[in-house]
Amino acid sequence: MQSVQVSYSKQLHKVRQTRQTINTILDKIEKNTIKELDDKMTTLKASLKTDMDNCSKLKNELKQLSDAIHDIVDKGKSELIFIASKKCLEKIRQSETYLRENSVQLERLLTFQADIDIEQFFSTLSCLGKIVLGDQNHVFTVQGKSEYEVTIPIDSSPCVLNGICVLSNGQMLVADTFYNNRVKLLDQQYQVVGHCDLNAHDMCQITPSEVAVAFETLDNTHGVQFVSVNDGHLVKGRKLRFQHECWGIAYDQKDLYLTTGNALHKYSMSGELLNKMYEDTSSRFTSKYIVILQ
């Protein structure tokens, strides 16, 4: 029941992450659409302002001609009346031509036409994905392989990786042991972005930003070092020391599980021994055997 509940919580988190991803995509689409609307509005305003300025200019010119004609009529100068009338008629024709060619047409009004393909696509969906019961006997198939260089300038020897841990944000920690004795932080593109000196044998994730590292020192000290990931930097925290070797480590239900090569110990997060779960004292025990505990 605990295992099923943990599985449910993880998948529920994935469902909500999927929804958030879709929301982000839709927000981006909406932002782009509004930007296009704003650009069209800016262009339309500029065009209308030009039309208004031109119309005001023509109106002022017509007003000046009209005032001039009234003034000439009052003075009774027929020759000037004839000339002014011709100029006025020409300016009227110019105004009518301009209005006819530059009147506001319906196509210049803003209209949003929704993409019906988007609406139709979402209307065909009944859920965000499929819920599948896990098959414990599933055989994994390798679909591809990529190689990345994790050597850094301060390394004195070729890298020998014997521990790896993937964080929730996609970053990765690798243990470069035996020669260089350091833990390295890789980003989502598998580039080394941080490191700390530590002779690590294995590691496991405790929180989204913290891992527990099983280590040993040159003076034969064994223990667990807690390391936090902070803005691309690895920061060492508290340390637990043990009398036995620490080769493998796992974290489950707020407890630590440590292997010594032939035994499995269960510890609390404070370093208190809760149970020696298994020990093989036979002389035949080697690394080619696996033991299934229930």
pLDDT confidence of residue 225: 94
pLDDT confidence of residue 106: 45
Cα–Cα separations (whole angstroms), residue 15 to 122, 127, 131: 16, 10, 10
User: Terminal CA-to-CA distance of the chain, rounded, Å?
Assistant: 15
Question: Which 8-state DSSP code applies to residue 144?
Answer: -
The answer to whether 165 touches 205, Cβ cutoff 8 Å, is yes
Dig out the tokens for 250 from the structure: 């796992």
Token pair 């993409």 in the structure block, residue? 115
Domain edges within the chain: 2-106, 161-279
In whole angstroms, give the CA distance from residue 29 to residue 24.
9
Strands 192-197 and 273-279: unpaired
Nearest to 245 by CA among 206, 291, 199, 207: 199
Give the pLDDT means over successive 10-residue stretches in the chain (294 positions): 86 92 93 93 86 85 81 72 80 83 63 86 84 70 87 89 86 88 91 91 90 88 92 90 91 91 91 89 57 58
Question: Which 8-state DSSP code applies to residue 106?
Answer: G
As its CATH architecture, domain 161-279 has: 6 Propeller (2.120)
Question: Which 8-state DSSP code applies to residue 129?
Answer: S
Instruction: Using DSSP, state whether 155 is helix, strand or coil.
Output: coil
Residue type for 220, please? N
pTM, two decimal places:
0.50
